[in-house]
Structure 1
Amino acid sequence: MRRPVTAPGPTRRELLAAATVALLGTGACADEKPEPGKREDPDPELLIAGLTAGLSRENPYRDPDSTERATARQAVRALLDDWSTTADTDPLFAELGLDAHHGADPATGRPFSLYLASGSDDRTWGAVLVDRSATPRTVIEVPHPGFDINTEKLGLSLHRQVPASVLLVAGAHREAGNGDADVAHNKRSLFHVLAIEFAENGLDQVQLHGFADRNLPSSDAVVSTGSAPVRPVARRIADGLSDAGLKVCRAWVNRCGQLEGKRNEQGRAAAEAKSVFVHLELSWSFRRDAEARDRVVAALAGQLTPA
């Protein structure tokens, strides 16, 4: 049943500002004064939480036009051509309505760039978080933040555990824009354009989803490659999750309750490009518990981090 439309709530910018105040208030001692002239680096966790806090099916969303899609592809190529500088990437992402935030990640100490939708118009296109300590190798994708609850937290934790990774997070509720915001099934979306441009330039894709326990009670996780070929990394991820104590359904061995991602557009494009695509579905029991999520992240990172 469709929920009734309620009075407008706080904007995304207001939610982000409130979260900032709350975090600073709880993280500092009452008598602690900021060091004169010192500017705190932005925290990706806080900024991504602000992005996802106000997601609703009532939010605006539109697909990019052809010019914007071309700009997105150019931004990815500029990033990969020289990942150590922001001179070219910042203005390109700005053309797409994504604000640039740079600093050192407080959790890892590694330099990062976060390109984040401002939420000021219908270009609700999410976030691109880049580890600038090394040449990018892996794209970690969160197509349904807020809807597949805690997948954005899982994605950020995994990004922090996997150096040389890019985190790609959608920016709208999957039911917004009459369903066009379901970026995993919309090849016109900016998410898709960015994901495939990364893939065609040699980066592996790992995409995170969630399912209700009742939909596949025999499993804690489903590992598949969508329409793409089964690659060794998918088998290693499945084995790593099993070693961590999860009951894993391997889509290349068994049917997994229609959670195999066969209609996933990024998987279909990966099959055409002959690139690596891993589709991971995680049960609610494991997504809702922080310790369980940590186990999943450790298992995944162990298979994605270069030896």
Structure 2
Amino acid sequence: MTSKVLRVLAVVVVITVLLVAERATPGTDLGTVVTDFTAGLSANQEYQQPNPGELAATAAGFSAALDHRKAAEFTDLGFTVRDGVDSATGRAYTIAVSERAWGMYVIDRSAALSVAVEVPHPVSDLHTELVGVDLFRHEPGAVLLVAGAHRRAADVAHEPASVFHTVATVLARRGLAQVQLHGFDDRNLPATDVVLSSGAALAGDLARQTADRLTAGGFAVCHAWTERCDGLEGRTNVQGELAAAAGTEFLHVEMSRTVRDSPGRRADLVRALIHA
């Protein structure tokens, strides 16, 4: 082989390597993506209620995104849909982010769909979005739902005509359990770390096993199915009502401010949840 041919081959190899590197998807810290998104939420932000046609388009677009098909209806609603890789886990995901305060939705692509992790009150229920990211990272195949509006602008846990609830409905109809994360002030229940309930449904094995795991992990738990928990039982939660009607699991997890403020206790809580 002549030296000229060798030089040509070497150039081809270098160009090929550069093109592959350029097209590769760089790892991104999903935690940073979520906290950057929630940093823009405020009690005074604008929120536009979606109309029935937009909710129908949401269901169609999100279903397409779940199946890794082109989500034209989603993008028509002002969602940006892209694939990425979480640098903390090395796992691929698809993320859809609304430009209209309708939320952020992340689908883990490393396994079959497994569980919906829901954060309906980011920022308002401080650090629940961090717990949501941690739980999502520990559950291959999870779908993370983060509301796009502050609770005072739109309380999606009690609003059935919302994009958040529509996405939750699509997931419940596919049989996914929902774990929804909330927070309460220490003064409401000073002797309690976590309030646990099944929302509108009777408590089943999931709730009871989770309570046992949390208690074993040193958490003081208020069991909403046997105790009064200062109105934090989540019985009017619309995602919980959806799960009860669909016959799917729903776990309503209220965390004290002390638990949410502690990275160590947040990690302990996530471990208890995934083991249950």
TM-based fold match above 0.5 = yes
Of 242, 246, 257, the match for 2:215: 242
Specify the alignment match of 2:266 in structure 1.
293
- 1:72 matched to 2:45: no
Specify the alignment match of 2:113 in structure 1.
136
Distance of 1:149 and 1:192 partners within structure 2: 21
For structure 1, which runs of at least 5 residues remain unmatched after alignment? 1-34
Specify the alignment match of 1:265 in structure 2.
238
Partner of 1:115: helix, strand, or coil?
Answer: strand
Partner of 1:57: helix, strand, or coil?
Answer: coil
- 1:111 matched to 2:92: yes
Are the counterparts in 2 of residues 51 and 126 from structure 1 also a CA contact under 8 Å?
A: no
Summarize the alignment of residues 150-161 of structure 1 with structure 2, pairs less than 5 Å apart.
150-161=127-138
Distance of 1:190 and 1:219 partners within structure 2: 32
Q: Which amino acid aligns with 2:89?
A: T
Deviations 1:67-109, CA, capped at 9 Å, x for gaps: 11111211333344x3xx3x323x3321232212312211111
Partner of 1:275: helix, strand, or coil?
Answer: coil
Distance of 2:206 and 2:61 partners within structure 1: 27
Shift of residue 40 of structure 1?
A: 2.6
Q: Which moved more, 1:56-65 or 1:42-51?
A: 42-51
Of 270, 276, 284, the match for 2:249: 276
Of 188, 191, 196, the match for 2:161: 188
Of 194, 207, 221, the match for 1:221: 194
Distance of 2:82 and 2:30 partners within structure 1: 9
Specify the alignment match of 1:210 in structure 2.
183
1:131–1:113 distance in 2 versus 1, CA, 3 Å: same
Q: Which amino acid aligns with 1:188?
A: A
Q: Which amino acid aligns with 1:145?
A: P
Are the counterparts in 2 of residues 44 and 114 from structure 1 also a CA contact under 8 Å?
A: no
1:129–1:255 distance in 2 versus 1, CA, 3 Å: same
Distance of 1:190 and 1:257 partners within structure 2: 29
Are the counterparts in 1 of residues 41 and 150 from structure 2 also a CA contact under 8 Å?
A: yes
Partner of 1:108: helix, strand, or coil?
Answer: coil
- 1:42 matched to 2:28: yes
Q: Which amino acid aligns with 1:143?
A: P
Distance of 1:39 and 1:140 partners within structure 2: 25
Of 32, 38, 41, the match for 1:55: 41
Give TM-score scaled by structure 2 length.
0.88
Distance of 1:74 and 1:117 partners within structure 2: 15
Structure index of larger Rg: 2
Are the counterparts in 1 of residues 25 and 84 from structure 2 also a CA contact under 8 Å?
A: no
Specify the alignment match of 2:149 in structure 1.
172
Summarize the alignment of residues 85-104 of structure 1 with structure 2, pairs less than 5 Å apart.
85=68, 87-89=69-71, 91-104=72-85
Specify the alignment match of 1:5 in structure 2.
none
Give TM-score scaled by structure 1 length.
0.80
Shift of residue 287 of structure 1?
A: 0.1
Partner of 2:27: helix, strand, or coil?
Answer: coil
Partner of 1:92: helix, strand, or coil?
Answer: helix
Distance of 2:36 and 2:257 partners within structure 1: 22
Distance of 1:264 and 1:182 partners within structure 2: 10
Partner of 2:28: helix, strand, or coil?
Answer: coil
1:104–1:247 distance in 2 versus 1, CA, 3 Å: same
Q: Which amino acid aligns with 2:70?
A: D
Specify the alignment match of 2:125 in structure 1.
148
Are the counterparts in 1 of residues 79 and 96 from structure 2 also a CA contact under 8 Å?
A: yes
Shift of residue 39 of structure 1?
A: 5.7
Deviations 1:40-60, CA, capped at 9 Å, x for gaps: 333322221111112111111
Are the counterparts in 1 of residues 177 and 249 from structure 2 also a CA contact under 8 Å?
A: yes
Are the counterparts in 1 of residues 62 and 74 from structure 2 also a CA contact under 8 Å?
A: no
